[in-house]
């Protein structure tokens, strides 16, 4: 069973307006690399300098990957990966 | 244009005064595609700063999932300015990621105005819009309003 990825509104133009996509990958980075193959351009929206962008939140199930192993966080079949742009300002 | 119930405006001001001098923040959800703010959800400012706000990522995930389950979307994203005019700062413009949202700024210090102001922010561009404050919504909407 693949990983289900929830795509935020702002990135849907890259995924043919799909809200959810299914992907394989043993960790978050590999899942993003797989997405990049199918939906070019998405990786640079999520990653910079080898790390998740500071104002993009990525969750595996209910957990923010910043508090586990970042992009190396393991994925298991059936997990959900949620991408949400942080809401921030000054 | 943003049409918003007076009770929601009062609730945002009350929250901004309570949190002052820390910036307050939150979201008002409404039925998907309605452009009508109904359900006000105060958020914790994870930055606890007078010059910056950020939704707590864990709380944001919970609230966003709840909206999705209720067929809602964020209609308004609001925050207070504590010591500057209620106009988007460079930081506000830089991090705005919801082109469909009304970005509302509340002047927590009355020297900078007594009204909320609303903006569309997209791709570095700020467009101020008119705010129409209503004392009533259609009765079926009022029932689902929280403030």
Does residue B59 sit at the A interface (CB-CB below 8 Å)?
A: no
Please report, to the nearest 10 degrees, the dihedral formed by the alpha carbons of residues B132, B133, B135, B139 taken in order: 60
Q: What's the half-sphere exposure (Cβ side, CA atoms, 13 Å) at B75? A: 22
Query: Which H helix or E strand runs over B92?
Result: helix B90-95
**Are residues B43 and B59 in contact, defined by beta-carbon separation less than 8 angstroms?**
yes
Does residue B21 sit at the A interface (CB-CB below 8 Å)?
A: no
Q: B90: how many CB neighbours lie within 10 A of its CB?
A: 10
Whole-angstrom distance, CA of residue B37 vs CA of residue B131: 12
What are the structural domains, with CATH classification, of chain A?
3-85 (3.10.20.30)
State the complex-level ipTM.
0.93
Do the Cβ atoms of B57 and A89 come within 8 Å?
A: no
Q: Which residue of B has its CA nearest to A61?
A: B61
> What is the number of domains present in chain B?
1
The DSSP code for A27 is: B
**Cβ contacts of A84 on chain B, cutoff 8 Å:** 57, 60-61, 64
pLDDT score at B86: 97
Domain around B64: 2-143
Q: How far is B123 from chain A (nearest CA, A)?
A: 11
* Residue pLDDT, tens place only, B38-94: 999 999 999 999 999 999 999 999 999 999 999 999 999 999 999 999 999 999 999
Please report, to the nearest 10 degrees, the dihedral formed by the alpha carbons of residues A23, A26, A29, A33 taken in order: -40
* Residue pLDDT, tens place only, B88-145: 999 999 999 999 999 999 999 999 999 999 999 999 999 999 999 999 998 888 878 8
Do the Cβ atoms of A86 and B95 come within 8 Å?
A: yes
Integer-rounded Cα Rg, in Å, for chain A is: 12
Do the Cβ atoms of A9 and B64 come within 8 Å?
A: no
Do the Cβ atoms of A85 and B97 come within 8 Å?
A: yes
| pTM, 2 dp | 0.94
Strands A80-85 and B102-107: unpaired
Write the burial class of residue B49 (CB in 10 Å: 0-12 exposed, 13-18 middle, 19+ buried): middle
Q: Once rounded to an integer, what is the mean pLDDT over residues A75-81? A: 96
Mean pLDDT of chain A: 96
**Are residues A66 and A59 in contact, defined by beta-carbon separation less than 8 angstroms?**
no
Q: How far is B139 from chain A (nearest CA, A)?
A: 30
Nearest CB to A87; choose among B60, B90, B99: B60
Structure tokens at B75: 């209609």
Q: Give the position of tokens 């707590």.
A: B56
Do the Cβ atoms of B27 and A87 come within 8 Å?
A: yes
**Are residues B106 and B79 in contact, defined by beta-carbon separation less than 8 angstroms?**
yes
Q: Which residue of A has its CA nearest to B23?
A: A90
CATH number of the structural domain spanning residue B10: 3.40.140.10
């Amino acid at each position: 069973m693949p990983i289900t990825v929830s795509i935020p509104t702002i990135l849907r133009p890259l995924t043919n307006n799909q809200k959810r996509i299914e992907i394989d990958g043993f960790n978050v980075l590999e899942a993003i690399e797989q997405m990049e193959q199918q939906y070019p351009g998405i990786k640079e929206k999520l990653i910079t300098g080898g790390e998740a962008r500071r104002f993009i939140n990525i969750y595996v199930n209910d957990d923010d990957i910043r508090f586990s192993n970042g992009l190396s966080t393991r994925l298991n079949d059936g997990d959900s990966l949620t991408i949400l742009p942080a809401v921030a300002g000054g | 244009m943003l049409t918003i119930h007076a009770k929601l405006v009062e609730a945002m001001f009350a929250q901004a005064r309570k949190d002052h001098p820390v910036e307050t923040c939150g979201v008002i959800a409404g039925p998907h595609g309605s452009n009508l703010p109904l359900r006000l959800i105060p958020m914790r400012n994870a930055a606890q700063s007078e010059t910056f706000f950020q939704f707590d990522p864990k709380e944001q995930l919970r609230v966003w999932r709840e909206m999705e389950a209720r067929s809602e979307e964020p209609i308004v994203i609001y925050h207070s300015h504590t010591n500057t005019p209620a106009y988007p700062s460079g930081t506000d413009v830089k991090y705005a990621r919801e082109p469909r949202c009304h970005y509302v700024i509340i002047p927590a210090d009355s020297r900078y105005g007594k009204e909320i102001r609303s903006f569309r922010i997209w791709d570095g561009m700020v467009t101020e819009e008119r705010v129409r404050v209503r004392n009533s919504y259609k009765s079926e909407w009022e029932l689902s309003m929280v403030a």
